[in-house]
Amino acid sequence: AQSVTQPDIHITVSEGASLELRCNYSYGATPYLFWYVQSPGQGLQLLLKYFSGDTLVQGIKGFEAEFKRSQSSFNLRKPSVHWSDAAEYFCAVGRGNQAGTALIFGKGTTLSVSS
Amino acid sequence: GAVVSQHPSWVICKSGTSVKIECRSLDFQATTMFWYRQFPKKSLMLMATSNEGSKATYEQGVEKDKFLINHASLTLSTLTVTSAHPEDSSFYICSARIAGELDGELFFGEGSRLTVL
């Protein structure tokens, strides 16, 4: 069965510093990969997704992620974090590597931003 | 972007009663909707796939008789927690994809927090 691992439960980053959130997946073929952000009182918002093609994906709010097949990873990065980026971040994979299916989520990483 | 709305946002009920949560796609049609359950500090657990006009597909370990799902139209899916107990207290989230856009974004509702006393 597919699974997604986010090794870091909680990360604190200083405002203005760079950020990298880790995500590893288990699946033999090229997966459909996603990063979502969840802020308190709000629904999940899609930051970016990878289906195929260029392994460096640009998303909203200045985020990017890089798909590395050799490492089974899809880490999320941002060069300069803003206080408003404090939230819960979820990595997800499309189940069965099929379009139109449900997403399987990692356990999430809580991002805190210090001033 | 497309909007998915859930109602109610939060509900408190007594043990043994049933609670219905609605999930609506406000500005698009969705042939398929997904229901998730989120525990505190935990990931989203897929409960079931709701298909318009047909029976829902439940994940292993999810009691279909306790969590009744109905997808009567292309814009509405409902989750009914029957004979709720305190252990059913959780945050329930629905999601939907625009019909026909298989590679499209999955849009999420803001969630419904259920507390069973």
pLDDT tens, position by position, B31-46: 889 999 998 877 899 9
For residue A57, which amino acid is it?
V
Angle at A51 between CA A45 and CA A68, to 5 degrees: 100
Mean pLDDT of A76-97: 92
Question: What is the C-alpha separation between B49 and A63, in angstroms, rounded?
Answer: 30
Contacts of A104 in chain B (CB under 8 A): 46
Q: Does A102 touch chain B (CB under 8 A)?
A: yes
Mean pLDDT of B53-71: 93
pLDDT of residue A97: 59
Contact A49 B34 (CB under 8 A): no
- State the average pLDDT for chain A: 91
Contact B46 A90 (CB under 8 A): no
Question: What is the C-alpha separation between B105 and B108, in angstroms, rounded?
Answer: 10
HSE at residue A76, side-chain half, CA atoms within 13 A, is 30
pLDDT of residue B97: 85
- How would residue A101 be classed by pLDDT, with cut points 50, 70 and 90? confident
> In this structure, how many other beta carbons lie within 10 angstroms of the beta carbon of residue A97?
15
Question: What is the C-alpha separation between A60 and A64, in angstroms, rounded?
Answer: 8
Q: Å from A9 to nearest chain B CA?
A: 9
- How would residue A99 be classed by pLDDT, with cut points 50, 70 and 90? low
